[in-house]
Structure 1
């Protein structure tokens, strides 16, 4: 085992490092980070570290107009998409979900829970359509899925929508004590949570194997931990749970109703001056930090680089658990690195009460940042001829600043 590990401690080829122009993001080995930036309602910081051979976490921050109409409303959108089985679904969400949200905001002429749910539904339907098209030549696409955590700040209101086990945590100032307390805003859908198991059992009363304890981990049908997602079509449509899908994904008996759901849990919060910041992160962070530990770190350190700091503290914890030094963990290449920690994405959104009080119709430049490397891109970029459907433009972070005409 030691020989195997030391064989992994080799310098990585430069081909793994995406060095774009200086648009505010930087790359340090498998770690991409944007120390600080400004959004409509305050400041933000982002970081992503890769563990899988192909990065399965995707993320974005969109600030400015949340509608197809320049009249607004204006606000900030944060998305964290933790893929599993491959990067295809998380990349798909990263390209399509926000565009659907803008379309439905235009139709409703406002932001709402209904708008967000419609955007999730449209993204799921569009991915299902793509799986149907790809199925004859690429049946394994039916077994690819993604968690989906979204936060929208608009007109002083915070909307949190979630599928899966990524998490949004609010740092709130308690005036009586001066402490910053952690408040979890997102509902998680993981079979390790008893209420999730009870929900699955109540919606599938005739299936005694709807959740199975396998190797001390609760899994839906013994296959997957999460109960809600985008994608994972093989557990939603019975016609995709058959050959030529790999046997390990196929259930012994056909199912009559979807096993997994794509209906997000959505909550609404009226933001107050004592709401200081929100941490959005994939479960790779929360495996190593509690909600309060993460909030304390953000509160007790400078804003600039705080997302990177959270990621590095999580990595140090992962190394310590394996009796390693952080410097040694950094030498392990992607793919093999997954045996030590997951892909980790963190977005910290700071809230400025003065900016929150402004009307949502105030026009501001639009900013778009997508995590995992960076480069300036024009507003429209055609896909390279012959490139796989799931790649589209290079999977680098994008930061596009557009001024309204």
Structure 2
């Protein structure tokens, strides 16, 4: 499931695709999830990513023969190049394109493996929850423990393992009352703390390596990375917290 949040006008888009992640119907099959949080001049950038990114991923997966981190890297670069080309050609007719931007978060699940990539401050977190034992397993353990005790008592008393037909049935001790007596489909929630595992690092100007990258890409722009004193953060051109 993918979701977006916006204050007033919707600038972002989300996308979920399930099926073949290449141009070949044979696969590889998986699920593609994209979250594109637009900002600035409107939803132009996020809508462009939604329309183009997955198709580029499918084409590159077909060319390389499999899904990999290289596919996502090349797909992000291709979308950025195509959108830059669009802005250069259409900015006169559509000036909002000059200020429109978007963060991008993509997750692809194929055969139990997860591929994630991001640009901007979109974040992916893996929630890990210990699996409880099913109720059936608990009952089996208790029955097996009870059988072992019966066998041990027989060996001590030297009672044959096969009882005569006329012997009274063995009286078993009742199971100890537990959480299962009241909630048969649930186990007690003991020490089941959800652990959040970050899968990505924010691509924001607060990180030193991002600021160095910005200055290397824009050596003639002194405002490419400005320090916001009141908020104690760095911003791209004094406006954006992240680079996209």
TM-score between both structures, scaled by the size of structure 2: 0.66
Aligned to 1:59: 14
Residue in 2 that maps onto 1:185: 199
Counting strand residues as a fraction of each chain, which structure ranks higher? 1
The Cα RMSD (Å) is 2.4
Give the secondary structure class of the aligned counterpart of 2:67. coil
Supply the distance in 1 between the matched residues of 2:94 and 2:24 (Cα, whole angstroms). Answer: 38
CA drift at 1:59: 0.4
Is 1:204 the counterpart of 2:182? The answer is no
Which digits, 9 at most, give the CA deviation of each residue in 1:314-350, with x for residues without a partner?
xxxxxxxxxxxxxxxxxxxxxxxxxxxxxxxxxxxxx
Q: Which residue of 2 aligns with 1:363?
A: none
Q: Which of 74, 95, 102 is 1:118 aligned to?
A: 74
What SS is found at the alignment partner of 1:131?
helix
- 1:201 touches 1:210 (CA, 8 Å); kept in 2? no
Q: Structure 2 CA distance, aligned partners of 1:97 and 1:185?
A: 21
Q: For residues 187-239 of structure 1, what are the alpha-carbon distances to aligned partners after superposition, in whole Å with 9 as ceiling and x for unaligned?
A: 10122x3xx13541476377775432334242123132112x1xxxxxxxxxx
* Contact preservation (8 Å) 1:197, 1:211: no
Q: Deviations over 1:238-279 (max 9, x none)?
A: xxxxxxxxxxxxxxxxxxxxxxxxxxxxxxxxxxxxxxxxxx
The one of 72, 94, 100 equivalent to 2:27 is 72
* Higher helix fraction (1 or 2): 2
Tell me if structure 2 keeps the 8 A contact 1:148–1:166.
yes
Contact 1:73 1:154 in 2 (8 A): yes
The 3 A distance-change label for structure 1 pair 198 and 68 is closer
What is the CA–CA distance in structure 2 between the aligned matches of 1:226 and 1:49, rounded to whole Å?
A: 18
Shift of 1:156: 1.9
Aligned residues: 180
Q: Is the 8 A contact 2:4 2:35 kept in 1?
A: no
Matched with 1:223 is 239
Supply the distance in 1 between the matched residues of 2:16 and 2:64 (Cα, whole angstroms).
22
For the residues of structure 2 that align with 1:151 and 1:158, how far apart are their CA atoms?
7
TM-score by length of 1: 0.41
1:101 match: secondary structure = helix
Higher relative contact order (CA 8 A, sep 6+): 1
Match of 2:114 in 1: 158
Stretches of structure 1 that go unaligned for 5 or more consecutive residues are 1-44, 230-405
CA contact (8 A) 1:67 1:103 kept: yes
Unaligned 5+ runs, structure 2: 132-189
2:4, 2:37 within 8 Å by CA — same for their partners in 1? no
